[in-house]
Amino acid sequence: MAGLSHSIDDGRYGIAVKVWGYDEKQRLFTRHLIKRLATFEPNERRFDVLKEKLVRNLRNFKQNQPYEQAMFYTSLMLNEREWSDKQLLKVADG
């Protein structure tokens, strides 16, 4: 309603917080978002559901389209902070 929007995305090196809209209120809105992020209390049940979904996707990785697998393995070879599906599964199962 105030013309402000935001997105919070996970990325290779952490999270990205993007804010856009009317300039005069962006600073206040951004402070509010950062405060909410800093005081966030994760829900254990929700975490378990999301973890189960991630593990299922990792186990089904070989079912992805060949071009998706090629893009993933290319990224794996080119980036320092990239982990294979097998490495992620090992950590998730532990």
Dump pLDDT digits (tens) for 10-58: 876 788 889 988 888 889 889 999 999 999 999 999 999 999 999 999 9
- Examine the domain organization and report whether 22 and 49 are in the same domain: no
5 vs 80, which has greater pLDDT?
Answer: 5
- Examine the domain organization and report whether 48 and 89 are in the same domain: yes
- Examine the domain organization and report whether 73 and 89 are in the same domain: yes
- Examine the domain organization and report whether 89 and 48 are in the same domain: yes
CA distance 82 to 37: 25
- Examine the domain organization and report whether 53 and 87 are in the same domain: yes
* Predicted local confidence at residue 79, as pLDDT: 84
Coil, helix or strand at residue 57: helix
* 54, 92 Cβ separation under 8 angstroms: yes
